[in-house]
Amino acid sequence: MSVQQREDIIRSLRPVSWFEVLDRAFELIRQRPSSMLLLSILSWGPFGVALFGWMFYIHYNQSSWGTDAYIIYALPYVLGLPLTIYMYHWSKSAQIYLAYRWILGDHIQSREALAYTARRPESFLMLGPLYVLSVLVGMLFYIAPGAFIVARWGMLPAVVAIESESRFFQPIMRTFRLGEGAGGRLLLLFLFFRGAELLLWINLLLLKYLILFVGHNFFGSELSALRELPYSSVLLYWLTLILLAPLKNATLAMTYVDSRVRNEGWDLRLWLDLLIGTTSQEVNDAPDAS
């Protein structure tokens, strides 16, 4: 990357509004949509396969809680849950890191992002469920404690993904420091994506019923299998999560960069690094975790 290109990128690192964060996230996805979508599938794929395999088995075998068939099939699912959680957070972190590097002008590949974020697997196994628990509490209580938790912990996946060289508990403190002054923005983004998920899910459901209606008029009962497909609404919601994951994680990367610019004067530090001859790769691979 030329010095002029690096200067242009640093100039673009200025405090932005939450709407500009979304706009820049869209720009990032348009650059390499296939890479972001691939990581979304890796993130949600194992969870969806395991969950729907279990649901379909129970549906077609009429098994219920406590039966031998239920327990025998559920046991591998429960034992594989930690691996599923790990895959989810590993791929999610890779997606965030990929977007982060694109913001800085380094167009790395998906495999490079996966290799980078695989350095600290214990972070995904422990900090990942902690973040999920916080989000679940926030979904139950949008006001008071729930809103506070969502706002304060919203940047945790980005910190874990980008600053993987930091000590184990350091991302927790970094999340709180970077979240100073950004709590309202993080809560707005959280509510925006909850609304976007609901809206996209409703549209997919309407598309499903439209296909059934048109198909019934033209093909008669040949599409009855689609009508009788169990848990189809859950399947469509799973598809919704896959489609929105690239935008959500690119937004987290943009919010992380914006918080560093606001709270740490990161753009000024990058200018200083550029002036003293620090390479772009050294700057990108060694974020300040103090």
Q: What's this model's pTM, rounded to 2 decimal places?
A: 0.74
- Do residues 188 and 18 lie in contact, with contact meaning Cβ atoms separated by under 8 Å? yes
Contact predicate 266/13, CB 8 Å: yes
In which domain, by residue range, is 247 found? Answer: 33-278
Tokens, residue 166? 């930091």
Contact 24, 226 (CB under 8 A): no
Is residue 24 assigned to a domain? no
* Secondary structure string (H, E, C) spanning 155-183: CHHHHHHHCCCCCCCHHHHHHHHHCCCCH
* Mean local confidence (pLDDT), 234-241: 82
Residue 283: pLDDT over 60: no
Residue reference for tokens 């004067």:
265
77 neighbors 141 (Cβ within 8 angstroms):
no
| 140 contacts: CB under 8 Å, gap ≥ 6 | 146
Contact 35, 110 (CB under 8 A): yes
Q: Find the range with the poorest average confidence among 17-21, 147-151, 274-278.
A: 274-278
Q: pLDDT tens digit string along 86-138?
A: 777 788 888 888 888 888 877 788 888 888 888 776 666 666 666 666 666 65
Q: Which tokens in the block code for residue 228?
A: 């009788």
DSSP for residue 107: -
- In this predicted structure, the answer to whether residue 265 has a pLDDT above a threshold of 80 is no
Q: Is residue 2 part of a domain?
A: no
Domain count, the chain: 1
In a domain, 11, yes or no: no
Could you tell me if residue 87 is inside a domain? yes
